[in-house]
Amino acid sequence: MLTVSRRAGHASAAFTMDRYGHFLKESQGIAKGAMDAYLGS
């Protein structure tokens, strides 16, 4: 996240997470569903 923060010109990674963290939460849920389906869980 630090690399993304620096590339975006943000002062800190915490700001980047506050601003865009919800995208990560959504994609984590999608990835979990895909893995569950693949593994048959």
Indicate the number of domains in the chain: 1
Q: Work out the number of other CB atoms within 10 angstroms of the CB of residue 37.
A: 9
Give counts: helices (H), strands (E), the chain: 2, 0
CA distance 41 to 7: 38
For 3-12, give one letter per residue: b (16+ CB within 10 A) or e: eebeeeebee
pLDDT digits (tens, 9 = 90+) for 12-37: 999 988 888 877 778 888 888 888 99
Say what the pLDDT of residue 11 is.
93
pTM recorded for the entire structure: 0.52
User: What tokens appear for 35 in the block?
Assistant: 């893995």
